[in-house]
Structure 1
Amino acid sequence: MPMSIESGAADGEEVVRKTEPESLEIERSRTGKPVPRRGGRYRHSRYDPEKEAERLVKRAEGRDPRLVVLLDVGWGYAVLAARRLFPKAKVIGFESDLELAELARRRGAWKEDDRTVFLARGEDRDEFELLSRFIDEVGAARPVFLSAGSADSDAGDKWKHRMIELVEKIVAMQRESLSTSARFGSLWWENSVRNLEAWTRVPDVSTWFNKAQGEMVIIFAAGPSLDDSLELFQGGDGGVRLVVDTAAKRVLESGIRVDAVLAADAQDWTLEHFSKLEVSRLLATPIVPPALWDRGRERILMTLAGPHFEWMASAAGMRRVPLKAGGSVTTFAFDLARRMSPRAILLVGNDFAFRAGRRYASGTTYEGRFGMHSLVPNRFLTFENYLLRNAVREEDGQVTDEVLRQYARWMEWEIAATKIPVYRAVDFGLLKNSPVIPPDVLRQFLERPAWNPPRPLGGTSETVPISEKRLRRALGSERLRLARILTSPRKRLAELGPFFEPIVRPFAVASHLDGLDDEAIRELTRRLVRAGDLLDEVLSEDARR
């Protein structure tokens, strides 16, 4: 929309004059503050926009918000009020009018820092990436949404609602991540330290980035539709074939060619998926059980995002590029697939739904452990009671549960964020926005020659001794730091650096929100003492060499 800008204000600011009925105009309130107007609609009070914004934000008083999300912020008065009234909170300001947003940025009304971020419809910014980095676990614990205005168009309303859904998704991801960290953070840390040699000897997954141009990446997961799909791949070797660990046994025993098996979980039951299997190529995170690395003839490291993993890579002097995590191994596989720059991605068995009482395909390790019927142990626990106890529900004609539904929502967002065509092998499951692949398109890719993976870089005999010695020296320094901290953990919690983040994270969030009681301090101390014992064990192994 055209806009004329003149210099004429006493303070040297730009003055926007109307050039057509719906053009943007900036007027002054009675208190002298800028008030945007488009047509006959004023975005703020013509009397005192700051007082108006304060009244809006005060609605959140008493809730102690740690994340304030403001919709249609206009000139940003409500953002400033939220920062002032809630000094411990982060603030997000959304604006559906790009022209207004650009002018507010240019005039300095929108200022971003570590507590504030603004986003406008039509800006060339990765919304998911930006907000994922901005919204932390503390903010996710207590978010508040407030509307400072309304959008000027249906498109603006749709964008605003999409941003609300995006923030809710990231909040849910952070809460799930924090909950998982509380249960498994210490195990992640222990496995990462025990996998010291993997950090220094195993090449990085980034060597596969951009190496599937012209190919289709096929991701095999263990959902029930895997049973329907395997025969589709018997007639050719084409495509880059990534198999998540839960589906490895079923796919490999079907005689289907596989390029790599992916593993991401820390629990020992991960090893069950590889019982009596040796895979040609294993892609695993640094938190998997150390014994798992022996199951792959060729091994590649998929690192995670987070302070601890960044610390480990930096201490070893190794290049490690993290993949996105989002609840399931499938998320790793999908992030890797799109970074390989293929022509298309095909999802096989990525269902996130039950069928005939089954959550997993037949012949998979988890079918016996988590199949619906195995979870109904006797006649006193009926199928209907199981559904009620586990929040099983029907959605779009599919039976699912809350965990699978959340995973599916995350995958839908990831799919929506990529420009690569994403298909399903069969019409089943929650990912209905992805079409079923036409048979002729599938045949076109399967008839291609087998993909030739790049030779992994790094982990050479020249670099391993240097990186391993560097990492062990850094571990020794952290052991000394921990010994000092354990003399007074309550007072010195803040001194624990990024190396201990998986252990400390839930306690740090609780400390920011409500403080730590004596029981929490005792539990944190117990976990840190265990961490010190493990460091002593790892470092003594080095001394014996």
Structure 2
Amino acid sequence: MNLNSENDGAPPFPAGSPPPGLFTQNLRVLCERFPGLADMLSLHNGMQAGAEPAAIPSRYRLEYTRDGQPLISVDGFFLQSRYNPRREASRTLDDPAAGFSPEGCVFAGLGSGYFCLEYAARFPQAVIVILEPDVHVFLLCMQAQDLRPVFERKNTVLLVGMRARDCALTVEKLREAGACLPVFRPPALGKISADWFAEFAETVRRTQEKRNINHNTLKRFGGLWLRNMAKNLGEMQTRCGITPFAGVFAGFPVLLLAAGPSLDSVLPLLPALRETCVVVAVDTALRACLRAGVQPDFLVLVDPQYWNYRHIAGLSAGRTFFITESAAWPAVFRFPCRDIFLCASLFPMGRFLEGGGDRGTLGAGGSVATTAWDFARYLGGNPVYAAGLDLGYPDGKTHFHGALFEEKAHTESGRLRTAETAAAGILASGGAFRAEDTSGKTILTDRRLSLYSWWFETAAAAHPETQTRRLSDSGLRIPGISAADPEEAAALPPRRKDIDRILERIRTETAGGQDESAQRAFLAAEQNLLRGLEEVRTLAENASRLCTKALRSAESGRDGGGAQALSALDEAAAALDRHPVKDVLAMTFTESGETFAGNPEKNAAGSFFANAGRFYDKIAESAAVNLRALKKNAASLKNP
């Protein structure tokens, strides 16, 4: 189907009516390729009857240009150019500013279908993702256009009538899988389903911001995570996962203690709340718990940095189960507690060493509070009462009174730099702005905390079975999470005896850590990882030498077998891409920002081989860094 050419002759069918049988032809392919969507839209019955779709509201109209090109209008507003929509689509794709990629495109709105059809004709192998919030527009387009060139493609994704957030998160997952998917929204569609498109754009913006933060965090802390994990190999081999806790507190209320300023108002009730709820605290809130005379049932720490260890350094909680992660600061494993359990690793090396075994996966939204909430859900808790989950700075405060941050500020304060000055610096450093709190007033927050809020909003929507209520109305408003009076949670029926009985049973069952078979499996995975890293380093070093040889030939103007070198590099790239340890390198691999030092116009081949050589050098270097860290700490492993 070629939509690039203009047809100014007779219309392909009488103006004012769709071509006979077109909807049925589209429907047949839709039912074959997307049976789930056809079921959702109740279209299978229409296929069996060979009928047109059910009556579409009169505000949706199928109209035609003078030369017979079909157009959809909603409330009199046309979804594309009234004069020549086919030419408009062609010119838009010709415009570099539109940002189309030959690899794939997300069409935020199907509209009258011209843009996606034109794109499909130009790029037969590209991924096409169509997001159409309005089911009636989709059905009308099936009457108006032959959409089979789009429907029949193996790499087409159709999301029709779905929530904007769900569509945006699906696009994000496709991007994480490696798809290059710029978003194109036909300009005219913004006035139709405006709220949907606004929410979609905001969700895409937030996911992009989160991805950038994750990338920068990896670049900054990847080496730290590797060093920590290598030092913790012995702990990873012997510690149990969190699966013994899965669902054991189904129907029990859970109290989640974060470290925000509103925690102060709940602390006086903490002993009473402990009698009615399972208590889960984040690392930063432990001091407050102990000061109130309560040891939490669970303590969660997943951030690998030294300062997170400092929150628990010098403290002890003999009745507390400690939930942490394999890349945590090594000293946390010396914390005096009831026992230590490891959730599934958040990092590729940890996942490789776990060998696919189920340690219990927890969500990670950038804050320990997000992981602690997911652990409360993992326990089966319902409802989850959250204290100190402010995600903002009520009354200009950053944490509860007596938090380590506050004590550190007082310790380091002086005449020219007071503790108040330090607090003001925290407020000013994160792009602070005012937003609505739970009570309808405003609260000071920042970009980082608002991203955490979005994570909680998304998680609450994804798990409606887990009711979450905050024991304060001073925090940043989170849709889907309401406020509750702390007295309400304290007045619930006592459950402490049942809670302690379950915890003691699990302590007894998990005493001694992982069994010998699991420890042997971990040791075998570590040996496989070492061999794999050696193989990757050798592959990368050989590819780099090949690039160096080809570069010298290119610079001298000799025919040094450039075609053979490219073929060999393709084989090396394919071997690296297939290698099972490739993802492990992510923590220490940083793409080189260097450019070819020579004149690219003089020798484009030389520029390519120079850049490729630097790329493979980085891979070899990353493999070597991982090998050194693992070999240095291999003695901590047992041979059961």
Task: Tell me whether the two structures share a fold, i.e. TM-score over 0.5.
Answer: yes
2:525 corresponds in structure 1 to: 471
Counterpart check, 1:292 vs 2:332: yes
Structure 2 CA distance for aligned equivalents of residues 375 and 112 of structure 1: 71
Counterpart check, 1:415 vs 2:469: no
Moved more, 301-310 or 342-351: 301-310
> Are the equivalent residues in 2 in contact too, given 1:241–1:260 (CA < 8 A)?
yes
Counterpart check, 1:348 vs 2:387: yes
Structure 2 CA distance for aligned equivalents of residues 455 and 532 of structure 1: 37
> Are the equivalent residues in 1 in contact too, given 2:256–2:387 (CA < 8 A)?
yes
Counterpart check, 1:533 vs 2:628: yes
Moved more, 293-302 or 480-489: 480-489
1:75-474 superposed matches below 5 A: 77-79=114-116, 92-101=129-138, 108=148, 111=151, 117-122=157-162, 127=167, 130-136=170-176, 146-147=185-186, 149-150=188-189, 156-236=193-273, 237-279=275-317, 280-295=320-335, 296-305=337-346, 307-314=348-355, 318-355=357-394, 357-369=396-408, 378=417, 388=428, 390-396=430-436, 397-419=442-464, 420-431=466-477, 433=479, 434-439=481-486, 441-445=488-492, 447-449=494-496, 451=499, 452-453=502-503, 455=506, 459-474=513-528
**Cα drift, residue 180 of structure 1:** 0.5
- Structure number with greater Rg is 2
Structure 2 CA distance for aligned equivalents of residues 374 and 292 of structure 1: 28
SS of residue matched to 2:385: strand
2:604 corresponds in structure 1 to: none
2:42 corresponds in structure 1 to: none
**Cα drift, residue 366 of structure 1:** 2.6
Say what the alpha-carbon RMSD is for the aligned residues.
4.6
**Cα drift, residue 399 of structure 1:** 2.6
1:503 corresponds in structure 2 to: 587
Structure 2 CA distance for aligned equivalents of residues 372 and 425 of structure 1: 31
SS of residue matched to 1:445: coil
- Quick one: which amino acid aligns to residue 219 of structure 1? L
- Quick one: which amino acid aligns to residue 408 of structure 1? S
Q: Structure 1 unaligned segments of length 5 or more: list them.
A: none
1:191-244 deviation digits (Å, cap 9, x = unpaired): 233333343433333443333322222211111111121112222422121111
2:97 corresponds in structure 1 to: 61
Structure 2 CA distance for aligned equivalents of residues 506 and 86 of structure 1: 32
1:49-92 deviation digits (Å, cap 9, x = unpaired): 55433434555538687985532223654346567889999765
Structure 1 CA distance for aligned equivalents of residues 90 and 409 of structure 2: 52
SS of residue matched to 2:321: strand
**Cα drift, residue 351 of structure 1:** 1.3
Q: Structure 2 unaligned segments of length 5 or more: list them.
A: 1-17, 28-50, 437-441, 545-568, 596-607
- Quick one: which amino acid aligns to residue 308 of structure 2? T
Structure 2 CA distance for aligned equivalents of residues 228 and 188 of structure 1: 36
**Cα drift, residue 305 of structure 1:** 4.9
With over 3 angstroms needed to count, the CA separation of the structure-2 counterparts of 1:77 and 1:381, relative to structure 1, is same
What percent of counterpart residues are identical?
21
**Cα drift, residue 273 of structure 1:** 1.6
Structure 2 CA distance for aligned equivalents of residues 274 and 382 of structure 1: 22
TM-score (norm 2): 0.69
2:551 corresponds in structure 1 to: none
With over 3 angstroms needed to count, the CA separation of the structure-2 counterparts of 1:541 and 1:240, relative to structure 1, is closer
With over 3 angstroms needed to count, the CA separation of the structure-2 counterparts of 1:406 and 1:13, relative to structure 1, is closer
Larger RCO, structures 1/2 (Cα 8 Å, 6+ apart)? 1
1:363-415 deviation digits (Å, cap 9, x = unpaired): 22232346899599638979877755553333343233333333333333333
With over 3 angstroms needed to count, the CA separation of the structure-2 counterparts of 1:372 and 1:268, relative to structure 1, is closer
**Cα drift, residue 437 of structure 1:** 0.7
With over 3 angstroms needed to count, the CA separation of the structure-2 counterparts of 1:35 and 1:385, relative to structure 1, is same
1:16-48 deviation digits (Å, cap 9, x = unpaired): 478465287778989998765668665456776
User: How many equivalent residue pairs?
Assistant: 534
Moved more, 215-224 or 473-482: 473-482
> Are the equivalent residues in 1 in contact too, given 2:107–2:116 (CA < 8 A)?
yes
